[in-house]
Amino acid sequence: RQTNTTHLYGYEYLGNPSRLVITPLTDRCYTTLTTALHLHRGGLPQGPAGTGKTETVKDLAKNLAKQCIVFNCSDGLDYKSLGRMFSGLAQTGAWSCFDEFNRIEVEVLSVVAQQILSILTAVTQGKKRFVFEGKEIKLDPTCGIFVTMNPGYAGRSELPENLKALLRPMSMMKPDIALIIEIGLFSEGFVTSKLLSKKMNTLYHLMTQQLSKQDH
């Protein structure tokens, strides 16, 4: 249960993986994504690299015990291969996170928008089976479609309007590094984690400014 939404627990066995530190940014992202699912829409976390877009989607899937399949998109993808993926997601009820979705060609994205629309419409109407790409398949309404984007990079497409309408956007900007370090240290048993996190945050900040990109 979150805000005005409730979701069924998936009971997918995922082992005992590590979890994300909950910061105000990830909390807002969870709220946005769960509301998007409640409204039978997809989620669209967007922002610069390293802000935790994909990891937040994966961690929300862990919270709800759902299988989350991460797929790195490239400009070589066509609508048929993406259609096969969507077909599998709709039938199994798994979640997908399509990384760098705006690398795909605009022409393909327009067709993909229609594929996503047909799945989301079937979920909204509460159907058990529906016709997808000319075949009748079963539908698990707990499936989720999420995409991440790095806007403003060279070689990236702008999402078509019909696709934007199906995905709820969420801006992921700079994460709270100090809070993440503090919780990480606290979980390892450091009593003075608050003080140490400030020092480590300053250290990392200086390293990013002073050191070159090569491995040290």
Q: What average pLDDT does range 132-161 have in this prediction? A: 85
Kindly indicate the confidence band of residue 167, based on its pLDDT and cuts at 50, 70 and 90. Answer: very high
The model carries a pTM of 0.85
8 A C-beta contact, residue 140 and residue 109: no
For residue 34, is pLDDT > 70?
Answer: yes
For residue 155, is pLDDT > 80?
Answer: no
More confident position, 41 or 159: 41
The fraction of the chain above a pLDDT of 70, given in percent, is 98
Nearest-angstrom CA–CA distance, 159 and 146: 14
Least reliable range by pLDDT among 14-23, 31-40, 87-96, 121-130: 14-23
In the chain, which ranges are continuous DSSP H helix?
A: 24-38, 53-63, 79-92, 106-124, 161-164, 177-187, 193-210
Nearest-angstrom CA–CA distance, 214 and 10: 43
For residue 105, is pLDDT > 90?
Answer: no
Predicted pLDDT at 216: 65
Question: What backbone torsions phi and psi does residue 10 show, to the nearest 5 degrees?
Answer: -85, -25
Number of residues assigned to the chain: 216
Residues 6+ apart with CB under 8 A from 129: 136, 137, 138, 139
